[in-house]
Amino acid sequence: MNPHPPASESPGRPICVLGLGLIGGSLVRAAAVAGRAVWAATASETTAEAARADGYDVAADNSEALARADEADALVVLAMPLPAVAGVLARVNELAPRARLTDVVSVKAAMRDLVARHAPDTRYVGGHPMAGTEESGWAAGSATLFAGANWVLGSDDEVDTEVWADVAELAWACGSRVVPAGVEEHDAAVARISHLPHLLAAVLAGVAEGDPHAQGMLGTGPGLGELPLTLAAGSFADGTRVAGTRPELVLAMCEGNRAGLLAAVDDALGRLGAARGALASTGGLAATVNAGYAARQRWHSAQHAPTVRVARDTKPAALRELGRRGEVLLGWSNQTL
Amino acid sequence: MNPHPPASESPGRPICVLGLGLIGGSLVRAAAVAGRAVWAATASETTAEAARADGYDVAADNSEALARADEADALVVLAMPLPAVAGVLARVNELAPRARLTDVVSVKAAMRDLVARHAPDTRYVGGHPMAGTEESGWAAGSATLFAGANWVLGSDDEVDTEVWADVAELAWACGSRVVPAGVEEHDAAVARISHLPHLLAAVLAGVAEGDPHAQGMLGTGPGLGELPLTLAAGSFADGTRVAGTRPELVLAMCEGNRAGLLAAVDDALGRLGAARGALASTGGLAATVNAGYAARQRWHSAQHAPTVRVARDTKPAALRELGRRGEVLLGWSNQTL
């Protein structure tokens, strides 16, 4: 393995992407546009051929890609679904045991634990680009998928600051803004703004469809039949859109973030239960509805997050504090872009 | 008051619209386009002037409009928010006590009860055109707002079939499809596909924003701060869109449908609680997520509802059964359009 040059001397670190789905495929394209040396591997021979036909450097398999990464001291990016990660980490541990390593998976505590178990000597910094579409697969990818997106970087105290800089520079090269967060903070936040919305969408779709058998048993007449789904439009359509996501993708996200999601679900149950109590007693829902309205207005404001630059030696605790303040990082403060 | 001619001799019954917001204003325009004699009244002098400037017939006040309605045996349409209905009904009872009466309010049991209390001799058939936009007010209205929309008609056994036909013909004249439903059925269905989505959107927005004080007190560190709202995008944006609706409109809908909404909230609490239990015990959310996915797919299918025509003397019970089967009415079976 090569000695590690200081990060400041390697602004264009090579990138090795394992997995060529929507995110991995977009990352390969974006890194290439940014001028990086980039190669990839995929378990699908069909995908490999499609990517090669589009002019990209696809290795024969993960082993070949990882051997090259070890040789070039590249940044290795895991871009496969969570259930496939453990198997790939075993190969990393074998072929590039000290690799600079990151990932694009939407849960971070589970990833950290998997890395600690299967590839404990890698220099791992978790990542999560908040970008995606309804589509999936190599063909759906785009070099501009990450433009303007928030890319969360795991920023706990023990983080490898050199690899943190590698991942931040990759995110910036792809046009993203970096949001530093502790791994547990990330999972708690994403549970509230992504995993819980998926679960509530599924619950709402189920309630609308109802259960004709249960209604019949309650003796309240013949039940509603098709009436609710026939009438469902605007608010139902929006509120259940992500219930149309492929269930295996939703399950991988939600079940992979058990602790974070449990806390978010408990918060939702508490708020919905309070609303239920108010409706049944005083009949008033103003507390719930006004709080939701105010939060939605605050979200609009939060979309104009302050953008900042930071010194390269900023401590993780200070970085996390920036993330909690809602600030996003555009680059190093001593760098002219 | 004029004698009531048989409905079959009055396909173009005059329309009197009380209220010129988004729905009332759109109805005046659509009825005029359909060739009906139509006049209106509004509590807002500014709105009245704007509507007159656009060429519409706006009476000086509800009293004048109702006196004309009584004289012409017009169909009176209540198009104001639920909290304003009782006061207007008192005027109806005074000036057009046997009026043919309908409304466009989104809750039907509460409307039925108000009519029974304040204008008990009117010939009332509840209506609910499932159409709207994020906007409100006269200027936001459009003659095509109801084109292709579902317009629910209260169709309980005791309904006045002659006025039912008046309202159905108005809906068809506006380009809508008629969905017959019992008043309680309507409220139960709309609670599930409209009022619950509004409540869940408010809960979701509140969970995402969190409560910094509560988090601090739990001793789990400094809290998430702005992090969740900064990262919130796709699924959060869709799931909370209707939380941005003016709170007084949401409260009027939800609080006006207390019984229907309570049942829907209890169903949601049960399903979310079951998901919480599964996540905490086995860690598996497949039952919830798969059910939501299937329901969303079934909703897509339900958007292609079978369209039918019915004989004019179809009994209410048979009409309600059509609604439960997910069928929508386009006109009379003995009528060529």
Tell me whether the CATH fold assigned to A14-181+306-332 matches the one assigned to A187-302.
Answer: no
The amino acid that residue B271 corresponds to is R
pLDDT bracket for residue A218 (50, 70, 90): very low
Q: How confident is the model at residue B322 (pLDDT cuts 50, 70, 90)?
A: very high
From the list A108, A36, A117, the residue with the least C-alpha distance to A72 is A36
Q: Is A113 on the interface with B (CB under 8 A)?
A: no
Whether residues B224 and A285 touch (CB distance < 8 A) is answered with no
Using an 8 Å CB-CB cutoff, list chain A residues near B247. Answer: 286, 289-290, 293
- Residue B11: pLDDT above 70? no
Strand partners, B76: B16, B101
Distances (CA, A) of B148 to A245, A293, A309, B65: 28, 30, 52, 29
The yes/no answer on whether domain B13-181+305-332 falls in CATH 3.40.190.10 is no
Q: Phi first, then psi: what are they for A126, rounded to 5°?
A: -70, 145
For B296, residues 6+ apart whose C-beta sits below 8 A from its C-beta are: A201, A205, A240, A243, A244
* Confidence tier at A134 by pLDDT (50, 70, 90): low
Tell me how far the alpha carbon of residue B244 is from its chain's centroid: 18
Contacts of B322 in chain A (CB under 8 A): none
DSSP labels for B235-274? Answer: HHHHHTGGGGS-HHHHHHHHHTTHHHHHHHHHHHHHHHHH
For residue range A84-99, list pLDDT tens digits in order. Answer: 999 999 999 999 999 9
* Cα(B87)–Cα(A45) distance, integer angstroms: 72
In this prediction the ipTM stands at: 0.88
Nearest chain B residue to A305 by CA distance is: B230
Q: Which helix (H) or strand (E) holds A204?
A: helix A196-209
The helix (run of H) or strand (run of E) holding residue A113 is helix A109-118
- For chain A, what are the domain ranges? 14-181+306-332, 187-302
| pLDDT mean over A217-229 | 71
- In this prediction the pTM is 0.87
Q: Buried (b) or exposed (e) across B63-101, using 16+ Cβ within 10 A? A: eebbebbbebbbbbbbbbebeebeebbebbbebbeebbb
Residue-wise pLDDT for B114-135, tens only, equals 999 999 999 999 999 998 766 7
Residue B233: pLDDT band with limits 50, 70, 90:
confident
CA A133/CA A136 separation, integer angstroms:
7
**CA atoms of B42 and B56, how far apart (whole Å):** 12
Contact B324 A210 (CB under 8 A): no
Q: What is the pLDDT of residues A37-95, one digit of tens each?
A: 999 999 999 999 999 999 999 999 999 999 999 999 999 999 998 999 999 999 999 99
Contacts B225 to A, Cβ<8 Å: 323-326
Asked if A287 has any chain B CB less than 8 Å from its own CB, the reply is no
Contact in structure between A138 and A21 (CB atoms under 8 Å): yes
Q: Does B298 touch chain A (CB under 8 A)?
A: yes
Residue B107 and residue B257 in contact, taking contact as beta carbons nearer than 8 Å: yes
Q: Which of residues 117-136 of A touch B (CB under 8 A)?
A: 130, 132
Determine which of A271, A285, A321 to mutate to test the interface with B (most B C-beta atoms within 10 Å).
A285
Q: Which of A235, A267, A279 sits opposite B265 (nearest CB)?
A: A279
Residues 241-260 of chain A with CB under 8 A from chain B are 241-247, 250-251, 254-255, 258
What pLDDT does residue A221 have?
52
- Taking CB atoms within 8 Å and a gap of at least 24, the contacts of A292-295 are A292/B201, A292/B202, A292/B203, A292/B204, A292/B205, A292/B206, A292/B240, A292/B243, A293/B202, A293/B205, A293/B243, A293/B244, A293/B245, A293/B246, A293/B247, A293/B250, A294/B209, A295/B205, A295/B206, A295/B208, A295/B209, A295/B229, A295/B240, A295/B243
Q: Say yes or no for a CB contact (<8 Å) between B224 and A279.
A: no
pLDDT tens digits for range A307-335: 999 999 999 999 999 999 999 999 999 75
Does the distance separating the beta carbons of B299 and A231 come in below 8 Å?
no
Determine whether the interchain pair B243/A293 forms a contact, defined as Cβ–Cβ distance below 8 Å. yes
Alpha-carbon gap: A64 to the closest alpha carbon of chain B (Å): 36
| CATH architecture of the domain covering B187-302 | Orthogonal Bundle (1.10)
Structural contact between residues A215 and B192, judged by C-beta atoms closer than 8 angstroms: no
Question: Looking at residue A41, what is its pLDDT?
Answer: 98
Per DSSP, the three-state class of B102 is: strand
CB contact under 8 A, A289 and B230: no
Are residues A224 and B185, on separate chains, in Cβ contact within 8 Å? yes
Query: A295–B247: do the CB atoms touch at under 8 Å?
Result: no
A127-131, A289-293, B2-6, B46-50: range with lowest mean pLDDT = B2-6
Would you call A288 and B199 a contact, using CB atoms and an 8 Å cutoff?
yes
Nearest to A243 among B130, B276, B293 (CB): B293
A12 touches chain B (CB under 8 A): no
Contact A181, B222 (CB under 8 A): no
* pLDDT tens, position by position, B244-291: 999 998 998 999 999 999 999 999 999 999 999 999 999 899 999 999
Nearest CA-CA distance, residue A41 and chain B, Å: 29
User: Which chain A residues are Cβ-neighbours of B258 within 8 angstroms?
Assistant: 279, 283
- Percent of chain A clearing pLDDT 70 (strictly above): 92
Distance CA A46, CA A144 (A): 23
CB contact under 8 A, A179 and B231: yes
Confidence of residue B172 (pLDDT cuts 50, 70, 90): very high
What pLDDT is stored for residue B7 in this prediction? Answer: 43
Q: Which residue among A194, A271, A290 places its CB closest to the CB of B203?
A: A271
pLDDT at residue A304 tops 90: no
Note whether B326 contacts A: Cβ–Cβ < 8 A: yes
**Domain range A14-181+306-332, CATH architecture:** 3-Layer(aba) Sandwich (3.40)
Residues of chain B with Cβ-Cβ distance to A223 below 8 Å are: 324
Instruction: Identify from B156, B198, B203 which residue to disrupt to test chain A contact, counting A C-beta atoms within 10 A and taking the largest count.
Output: B203
Cβ–Cβ contact B322 with A under 8 A: no
Q: Residues in chain B, how many?
A: 337
